[in-house]
Amino acid sequence: MGLFDSIFGTSTNKSAALAKERLQIIVAHERGSRRGSGPDYLPALKKELLEVVRKYVPVDQSQIKVHLDREGGYEILELNITLPDEEPRSGRN
Amino acid sequence: MATVIVVTSGKGGVGKTTTSASFATGLAQRGHRTVVIDFDVGLRNLDLIMGCERRVVYDFINIINGEANLNQALIRDKRVENLCILPASQTRDKDALTKEGVERVLNDLKQSFDYIVCDSPAGIERGALMALYFADEALVVTNPEVSSVRDSDRILGILASRSRRAEQGEPPVKEHLVLARYAPERADRGDMLSVEDVLEILGIPLLGVIPESQNVLQSSNAGVPVILEDGSDAGAAYSDLVERFLGKNLPHRFITSQKKGFLKRLFGGS
């Protein structure tokens, strides 16, 4: 800070605003990935659900999406399975 | 029923031990039976800050291993009644802190104390995890600086997922923000994160703002918790913090800058 600044109390240095903006982005990102990783049982749950579904419908690993969300005091377990077209099914039985 | 409070931060050097020492001393000054435990195995420092380093005979690990009993290891503070210090071991490594061992010692301490203050080591390794695992409440010490705020957020995530309360589905650990080394005039100028900025990012209630102060270094030089230094602004801020923790509704001090006069600006002085 120059003499002028120290006398009149002005400053062009507003680095705190930059710090805040960077923090908000990185903290939101890291909180997101903490949530995304979910509890320990999530990978196993996903695998077993897929096995059950596969008993009836041939679906691919990539066609099942498990997502856990926390909102207020409760958690939402979202399960998305994309079923294949009719054709491959006719091959069974 | 005793309350277990962890003083934690993630990042090192932000004021955990200074806060633990003054917070525990403040609770004891107000008549609460208080013990403060150093969890920084291998790098103990609480004894130095409390000024009892030459009185350490047995330590936390000795008790966990059954090599000494609590009465042999607890150091009774000479200045303040109702205050005891349990030092960390300087020679063992952090693996000596077992969950079962720590729990047993805490349960024993709960019989004779109202507040158990756990001074966490920096980082998120075993020592830090053990310090926060059994906590009922947490003082998250943060400096108005990017790496400290980010690490505090990380610690808040760990408190919410890996504490005993989280694992057992009990009510969550009660979180308090302690903003230390704050320089209001720098925040006013816009080159330091303000109290409001940090609160907005971390989103936990503010327990106290400790101003950047020469008294902190002076009191650690002397081995006296800064809360015992009369006339020190940091000490006054810690006293307020303790009162607020105990339920008193006090306005925050030391968060606005003292306006300097024209002459003082011209001729310096802080």
For residues B96, B99, B105, B108, the Cα torsion angle rounded to the nearest 10 degrees is: -170
User: What is the rounded CA–CA span in Å between residue B237 and residue B239?
Assistant: 5
CB contact under 8 Å between B189 and A22, yes or no, is: no
3-state secondary structure at position B14: coil
> What amino acid occupies position B135?
A
Nearest CB among A9, A15, A23 relative to B150 is that of: A23
CB contact under 8 Å between B157 and A31, yes or no, is: yes
CB contact under 8 Å between B191 and A9, yes or no, is: no
Which residues, including other chains, have CB under 8 Å from residue B1's CB and lie 6 or more apart?
B110
Interface test with B, best of A20, A29, A30, A68 (most B CBs within 10 A): A20
pLDDT at B263 over 90: no
Q: Is B215 on the interface with A (CB under 8 A)?
A: no
pLDDT at A9 over 70: no
ipTM beyond cut 0.90: no
Phi, psi of B35, rounded to the nearest 5 degrees: -125, 140
Where does the pLDDT of residue A1 fall: very low under 50, low under 70, confident under 90, or very high at 90 and above? very low
DSSP 3-state percent helix, strand, coil across chain A (nearest 5): 55, 15, 25
- B 174-213: CB under 8 A from A: 187, 189-194, 197, 200-201
pLDDT at A45: 77
User: What is the rounded CA–CA span in Å between residue B145 and residue B149?
Assistant: 6
pLDDT in tens, A40-51: 677 777 778 888
What residues in A contact B191, CB-CB < 8 Å? 11, 13-16
Whole-structure pTM value: 0.80
Nearest CB among B146, B187, B265 relative to A22 is that of: B146
The residue assigned the tokens 């997101």 is: A32
Among candidate residues B205, B200, B197, B202, the one with its CA nearest the CA of residue B176? B205
pLDDT in tens, B156-169: 999 999 999 999 99
CB contact under 8 Å between B146 and A7, yes or no, is: no
For residues A25, A26, A28, A33, the Cα torsion angle rounded to the nearest 10 degrees is: 140
pLDDT at B270: 45
Which residues, including other chains, have CB under 8 Å from residue A74's CB and lie 6 or more apart?
none
pLDDT at A70 over 70: no
pLDDT in tens, B81-114: 999 999 999 988 778 899 999 999 999 999 999 9
Residues from A in contact with B at Cβ < 8 Å: 6-9, 11, 13-17, 19-20, 22-24, 26-27, 30-31, 34
What residues in B contact A8, CB-CB < 8 Å? 265
> What amino acid occupies position B150?
R
Longest dimension (CA), chain B: 64
Q: Is B265 on the interface with A (CB under 8 A)?
A: yes
State the nearest Cα–Cα gap between A68 and chain B, in angstroms: 15
> Which two tokens mark B140?
């998250």
pLDDT at B7 over 90: yes
CB contact under 8 Å between A7 and B266, yes or no, is: yes
State the nearest Cα–Cα gap between B266 and chain A, in angstroms: 5
Size of interface A-B (CB pairs under 8 A): 55
User: What is the rounded CA–CA span in Å between residue B159 and residue B161?
Assistant: 6
Mean pLDDT of B170-190: 96
Q: In chain B, pLDDT over 90 holds for what percent of residues?
A: 91
The neighbouring-strand residues paired with B115 are: B3, B34
pLDDT at A88: 52
For residues B54, B133, B129, B90, the Cα torsion angle rounded to the nearest 10 degrees is: 20
CB contact under 8 Å between A23 and B192, yes or no, is: no
Question: Do B58 and B90 meet the contact criterion of CB atoms below 8 Å apart?
Answer: no
Among candidate residues B148, B151, B64, B50, the one with its CA nearest the CA of residue B106? B64
Question: Do B150 and B143 meet the contact criterion of CB atoms below 8 Å apart?
Answer: no
3-state secondary structure at position B149: helix
CB contact under 8 Å between A23 and B187, yes or no, is: no
